[in-house]
Amino acid sequence: MDLISNTLTKIRNANQTQNPTVLIPNIKLNLQIIHILQKEGFIQSYSVIEPNVLQIHLKYQQNKKYQQNKKTVLMNLKRISTPGRRIYVQAKQIPILFGGLGIYILSTSKGLLTNKEAQKYNIGGELLCSVW
């Protein structure tokens, strides 16, 4: 079972149903992905509620015209590299998503980085997922 795909699917489903929080397993890779999402402004916050469970507080924008409708900040999460098909890129081949509005999360020798940070450090790696 692919834990990254499972985590991204849980966040995507909770976001589409406009749930305020979602629970995911607390593993090192999930914690790093969630930290990047919070740093880039796609989620509001996260907390460890049990040793094996992370609670993510999703971020929404209130629609001024209609008070009941919330606009999601996180439009889509997409898994790129899968266990059966790994996608690696060099530093000069790292793509830009929506003119810099979205990010790619890469697994590099320096840990998980966004595409902007990887280009800054001039290192490539495995494309894990895209977020916009």
pLDDT in the model for residue 61:
87
Residues 129 and 87 in one domain: yes
Residues 3 and 42 in one domain: yes
Residues 18 and 48 in one domain: yes
- Per the structure, the count of domains in the chain is 2
Reported as a pLDDT band with limits 50, 70 and 90, residue 72 is confident
At 11, which CATH number?
3.30.1370.30
Residues 56 and 109 in one domain: no
Reported as a pLDDT band with limits 50, 70 and 90, residue 68 is low
pLDDT in the model for residue 9:
97
Average pLDDT over residues 58-84: 85
Residues 98 and 125 in one domain: yes
Checking 86-90 for CB contacts under 8 A at 24+ apart, the result is 86/126, 87/126, 87/127, 88/124, 88/125, 88/126, 88/127, 89/124, 89/125, 89/127, 90/124
Residues 56 and 93 in one domain: no
Structural domain boundaries enclosing 27: 1-74
